[in-house]
């Protein structure tokens, strides 16, 4: 099943038609390993060689544990989304509806959609492509996946509540661009920052 979703073609600045789909298969995991990983590694090496601070620039999604994911495709509590354009995967996301609850005091204990994994294809990431001396291909892919998570939350009856553990390199995006509320660092998860959407913040983000 596919839903039309627009993204920006960064070479022209024009909007192009992509698709949001949820029929993720093992082939997509393989694609992220075959097509994405080599670029991430090449860019990481160049960045390391140019001695930039690792925390600031090194792609932080390098070691997502993609193994053992096939069994998760069958669980109701877990949902994967992908964005594809012209048959090429542009972004992938995993959300969970069970296992986490809201931590923000105003909605403490309420059910929440947790974004467990989100990755945008490396050719859409500025830091990676600049390291390789190239331009990014498409824009707003990450935003579209977060929008999908919010709408998934609404469909589940969670009113748009979404949470995630932010990598340090992504904190600025979630806090300042998405306007999620940072709740605190999770000592059980490499001290990553837990960020949460209230229903109002979620509605503001998706622009409804």
Contact present, 3 and 20 (Cβ < 8 Å): yes
- CA dist., res. 154 & res. 151, Å (int): 5
**Given the complex with other proteins, which of 169 and 181 has the nearer CB atom?**
169
Q: 141-156 vs 199-206: helix axis angle to the nearest 10?
A: 130
Instruction: Look at residue 20 and give its three-state secondary structure.
Output: strand
DSSP β-bridge partners for residue 20: 3, 83
What's the closest the beta carbon of residue 87 comes to other proteins, in angstroms? 18
The least distance separating other proteins from the CB of residue 82, rounded to whole angstroms, comes to 11
Output 88 or 203, the one with its CB closest to other proteins: 203
86 vs 106, which CB is nearer to other proteins?
A: 106
Distance CA 193, CA 165 (A): 5
Question: Please, what is the minimum distance in Å from the beta carbon of residue 113 to other proteins?
Answer: 10
DSSP annotation of 159 reads T
Rounded to a whole number of angstroms, the minimum distance from the CB of residue 25 to other proteins is 10
Q: Which is nearer to other proteins, 37 or 185 (CB)?
A: 37
């Amino acid at each position: 099943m596919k839903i039309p979703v627009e993204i920006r073609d960064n070479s022209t600045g024009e909007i192009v038609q992509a698709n949001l789909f949820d029929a993720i298969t093992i082939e997509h995991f393989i694609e992220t390993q075959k097509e994405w990983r080599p670029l991430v590694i090449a860019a990481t090496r160049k960045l390391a060689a140019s001695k930039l601070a690792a925390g600031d620039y090194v792609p932080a999604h390098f070691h997502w544990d993609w193994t053992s994911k096939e069994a998760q495709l069958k669980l109701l509590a877990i949902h994967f989304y992908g964005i594809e354009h012209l048959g090429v995967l542009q972004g992938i996301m995993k959300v969970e509806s069970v296992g986490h609850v809201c931590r923000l005091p105003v909605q403490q204990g309420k059910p929440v959609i947790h974004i467990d994994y989100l990755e945008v294809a490396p050719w859409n990431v500025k830091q990676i492509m600049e390291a390789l001396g190239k331009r990014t291909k498409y824009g707003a892919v990450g935003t579209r996946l977060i929008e999908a998570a919010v709408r998934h939350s609404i469909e589940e009856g969670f009113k748009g509540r979404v949470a995630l553990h932010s990598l340090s390199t992504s904190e600025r995006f979630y806090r300042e661009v998405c306007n999620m509320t940072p709740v605190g660092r999770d000592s059980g998860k490499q001290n990553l920052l837990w960020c949460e959407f209230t229903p109002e913040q979620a509605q503001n983000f998706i622009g409804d």
